[in-house]
Chains A and B, each alone.
Chain A
């Protein structure tokens, strides 16, 4: 069975600084996707970034980038130039590319950006 672990329940960062959120996962499979979702206080789940396991190049989306270490089963999210609007819960999710294609979510990291 696949598991996803986010070991940082809460983090804070000063506005304009950089912060890294950690995620590790466990699987014996080779074909999967990894995602980061953002959940602001409005509760909506918003896709931040995704990474295909077969790609060695790390995904980037504007101020968001990942450090994907497949051998270490690590998938961290880096937020550069943090903004107040980045304050949210961040969830790491794993999707196996067969069967149900369901998400396995981590428990989340609550990020607070300080002015």
Chain B
């Protein structure tokens, strides 16, 4: 009963390094999302994928790229990490792009020095 699984749980990077955060869901959901959570702020949407083969920008997409590898997996890539990208990253999924609630992973805490 895994739900949404994110790897890694913690990561420290140096400025300029690249990194891919992995997300997989086993609920046969069509839609997947990447959020970031910063202190004193709610979660903000980075990118989302309404269905396999599609991706779209959210509220704060700059500095990130995503890949919807298949129905289960949705990865987030930082090509050249910056200290401003230090955050906790959450992946979520839902049955489809609709009023269905989203199910979240446990998050990845990413620190960029």
Query: Per-position contact with B for A64-108: 1 when CB-CB < 8 Å, else 0?
Result: 000000000000000000000000000101010100111111111
Of B42, B59, B90, B102, which one neighbours A106 at CB under 8 angstroms? Answer: B42
Q: Is B43 an interface residue (CB 8 A)?
A: yes
| Measured CA separation A88–B13 after assembly (Å) | 29
Quick one: given A107-B40, A107-B42, are A101 and B99 in contact (CB under 8 Å)?
yes
Interface contact A91-B106, CB-CB below 8 Å: no
Interface residue SS majority, chain A: strand
Interface contact B101-A47, CB-CB below 8 Å: yes
Interface contact B48-A100, CB-CB below 8 Å: yes
Q: Is B79 an interface residue (CB 8 A)?
A: no
| Measured CA separation A42–B104 after assembly (Å) | 12
Interface contact A42-B101, CB-CB below 8 Å: no
Q: Which residues of B contact A93 (CB under 8 A)?
A: 42
Interface residue SS majority, chain B: loop
Query: Per-position contact with A for B95-113: 1 when CB-CB < 8 Å, else 0?
Result: 0011101111111000000
Q: Which residues of A contact B41 (CB under 8 A)?
A: 107
Q: Is A112 an interface residue (CB 8 A)?
A: no
Residues in chain A within 8 A of chain B (CB atoms): 4, 33, 35, 37, 42-47, 50, 52, 91, 93, 95, 97, 100-108
Q: List 16 A-B pairs, Cβ < 8 Å.
A: A4-B42, A35-B101, A42-B106, A43-B106, A44-B104, A44-B105, A44-B106, A45-B90, A47-B103, A100-B58, A102-B59, A103-B45, A105-B43, A105-B44, A106-B42, A108-B42
